[in-house]
């Protein structure tokens, strides 16, 4: 292990940890502007206090009301008695040789989640989690293999940005290192819209992180009814984890396809783009797995399937994890696949794998999940049965 990727144990950036938070107090970290304004009205204050407090929390990383110096002493005392700013405990922080940083955050006694910061030349992307584990069981994803425990709440989702922004210095907006946020960590964000949508609104709020809607991306395995809610509720950007050009293969790789097959999914992507600005598009993610979905005929089928959908295709070399039989496609196969897509008129990029020395690459986020689905055990039992028969 290099000095750089050493693990820092138990750093708590916040002044109040969730374990010491009395349950009856209102938590302000996860409130979007509307909720925060309603809260201030409810305690007899003017709604503009919402913006002031959001700035302190999100832009300056302050969780202690005493530090919010433009509020009167009386208001600060009142806030201390009725409200709190819950912050998660940072269990570990790991730095990759390529500059990628991964944080492991404890969200309750039994579970932890992972968040990853990926610096690039002209931008910095934070990859955040939306659930503890994942219920979808995509066959190539290590998060899915751990099973599902629960949805994250607003504050737990936004806390990932809060922690990362604070660790990176809480800089003024023009200098901030996190320029983009993607919901591509653990979990399926569109099976938790009740909490991911308010968190996305906080990311885009000028009193908080002020990111434009082009720089906040929800990635989904294809929860069609929720795709149809995005435009009206948050209007963020959309990435679809497609991974297969036909239902037969997609049912195996992304089993939610059985519920929302391509004939339902594709029209919902067209509806998402419809009526938007000229550059509005969908990002299509396609993980390249050796001899599974990387054949030339799959590329031709994909060109056909995407048709005139305004989109950018992102080919993701499969990232292996323990106990998987899948392998990464060869570079040759990836380049051949890309060429067919490009000749078919598609805009294609091949994603560089980042942070794999700290297990921070796509699909490798594991955290610590107390599986309530008992899927892991089920898998083990199935494997044992097969081996003993």
Cα dihedral across residues 24, 193, 15, 109: positive or negative: positive
Query: In the bound complex, what is the minimum distance in angstroms from residue 140's beta carbon to ligand SAH?
Result: 5
Q: Does residue number 363 form part of the binding site for ligand SAH (CB under 6 A)?
A: yes
Site string for ligand SAH, 332-361 (x = CB under 6 A): ------------------------------
Given 31, 79, 141, 265, the residue binding ligand SAH (CB under 6 A):
141
Using the minimum distance from each CB to ligand SAH, give the nearer residue, 50 or 253.
253
* Cβ contact 321:281 at 8 Å: no
Region binding ligand SAH by CB under 6 A among candidate stretches 29-37, 47-55, 69-77, 215-223: 215-223
Query: In the bound complex, what is the minimum distance in angstroms from residue 389's beta carbon to ligand SAH?
Result: 29
* Cβ contact 84:25 at 8 Å: yes
Given 241, 268, 283, 293, the residue binding ligand SAH (CB under 6 A):
241
Given 106, 153, 188, 294, the residue binding ligand SAH (CB under 6 A):
188
Length of the chain in terms of residues written: 389
Count of residues interacting with ligand SAH (CB under 6 A) = 15
Given 362, 366, 367, 369, the residue binding ligand SAH (CB under 6 A):
362
In the set 114, 153, 156, 285, the catalytic residue is 114
Q: Does residue number 65 form part of the binding site for ligand SAH (CB under 6 A)?
A: no
In the set 127, 141, 311, 362, the catalytic residue is 362
Taking alpha carbons only, the member of 138, 142, 133, 136 closest to residue 324 is: 142
Query: In the bound complex, what is the minimum distance in angstroms from residue 133's beta carbon to ligand SAH?
Result: 11
Query: In the bound complex, what is the minimum distance in angstroms from residue 132's beta carbon to ligand SAH?
Result: 13
CB neighbour list of residue 347: distance below 8 Å, 6 or more residues apart: 311, 312, 313
Q: Does residue number 293 form part of the binding site for ligand SAH (CB under 6 A)?
A: no
Given 220, 257, 268, 329, the residue binding ligand SAH (CB under 6 A):
220
Taking alpha carbons only, the member of 48, 43, 49 closest to residue 78 is: 43
Query: In the bound complex, what is the minimum distance in angstroms from residue 142's beta carbon to ligand SAH?
Result: 6
| Cα→Cα distances 232→177, 228, 257, Å | 29, 8, 24
DSSP state of 57: I
Q: Does residue number 90 form part of the binding site for ligand SAH (CB under 6 A)?
A: no
Using the minimum distance from each CB to ligand SAH, give the nearer residue, 18 or 241.
241
Phi, psi values for residue 167, rounded to 5°: -65, -30
Using the minimum distance from each CB to ligand SAH, give the nearer residue, 61 or 144.
144
Using the minimum distance from each CB to ligand SAH, give the nearer residue, 84 or 219.
219
Query: In the bound complex, what is the minimum distance in angstroms from residue 118's beta carbon to ligand SAH?
Result: 13
Region binding ligand SAH by CB under 6 A among candidate stretches 8-16, 94-102, 112-120, 312-320: 312-320
Beta strands in the chain (DSSP E): 8-11, 26-27, 83-84, 89-95, 101-106, 112-119, 124-127, 131-133, 148-151, 180-183, 216-220, 237-241, 282-288, 311-317, 347-350
| 114 carries an active-site annotation | yes
Q: Does residue number 318 form part of the binding site for ligand SAH (CB under 6 A)?
A: yes
Q: Enter the tokens of residue 221.
A: 């395995």
Using the minimum distance from each CB to ligand SAH, give the nearer residue, 31 or 184.
184
Strand pairing class (180-183; 216-220): parallel
DSSP state of 162: H
Q: Across the beta sheet with 347-350, what order do the strands follow? A: 8-11, 89-95, 101-106, 112-119, 124-127, 180-183, 216-220, 237-241, 282-288, 311-317, 347-350
Q: Name residue, tokens 């598009």.
A: 281
How far apart are the C-alpha atoms of 332 and 315, rounded to whole Å? 13
| Interface residues toward ligand SAH, by CB under 6 A | 140-141, 184, 188, 219-221, 241, 285, 287, 316, 318-319, 362-363
Catalytic annotation, residues: 114, 362
């Amino acid at each position: 292990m290099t000095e750089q990727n050493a693990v820092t144990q138990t750093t708590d950036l916040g002044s109040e940890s969730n374990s010491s938070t009395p349950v009856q107090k209102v938590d302000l970290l996860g409130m979007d502007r509307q909720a925060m304004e309603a809260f201030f009205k409810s305690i007899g204050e003017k709604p503009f206090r919402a913006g002031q407090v959001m700035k302190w929390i999100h832009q300056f990383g302050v969780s202690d009301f005493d530090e919010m110096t433009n509020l009167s002493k009386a208001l600060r005392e009142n806030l201390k008695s009725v409200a709190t700013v819950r912050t998660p405990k940072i269990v570990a922080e790991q730095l990759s040789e390529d500059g990628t940083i991964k944080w492991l955050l404890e969200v309750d006694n039994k579970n932890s989640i992972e968040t990853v910061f990926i610096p690039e030349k002209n931008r910095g992307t934070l990859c955040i989690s939306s659930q503890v584990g994942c219920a979808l069981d995509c066959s190539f994803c290590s998060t899915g293999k751990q099973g599902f425990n629960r949805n994250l709440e607003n504050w737990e989702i936004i806390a990932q940005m809060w922690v990362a922004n604070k660790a990176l210095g809480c800089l003024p907006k023009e200098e901030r290192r996190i320029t983009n946020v993607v919901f591509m960590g653990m979990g399926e964000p569109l099976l938790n819209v009740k909490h991911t949508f308010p968190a996305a609104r906080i990311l885009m709020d000028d009193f908080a992180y002020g990111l434009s809607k082009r720089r906040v991306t929800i990635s989904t395995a294809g929860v069609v009814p929720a795709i149809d809610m995005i435009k009206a509720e948050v209007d963020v950007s959309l990435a679809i984890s497609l991974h297969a050009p036909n239902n037969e293969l997609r049912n195996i790789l992304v089993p939610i396809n059985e519920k929302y097959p391509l004939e339902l999914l594709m029209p919902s992507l067209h509806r998402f783009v419809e009526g938007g600005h000229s550059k509005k598009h969908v990002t299509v993610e396609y993980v390249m797995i050796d001899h599974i979905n990387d054949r030339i005929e799959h590329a031709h089928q994909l060109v056909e399937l995407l048709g005139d959908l305004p989109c950018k295709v992102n080919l993701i070399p499969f990232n292996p994890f323990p106990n998987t039989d899948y392998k990464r496609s060869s570079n040759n196969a990836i380049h051949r696949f890309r060429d067919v897509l490009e000749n078919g008129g598609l805009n294609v990029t091949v994603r560089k794998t980042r942070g794999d020395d700290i297990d921070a690459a796509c699909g490798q986020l594991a955290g610590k999940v107390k599986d309530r689905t008992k899927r892991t055990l089920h898998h083990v039992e199935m494997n044992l049965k097969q081996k003993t028969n």
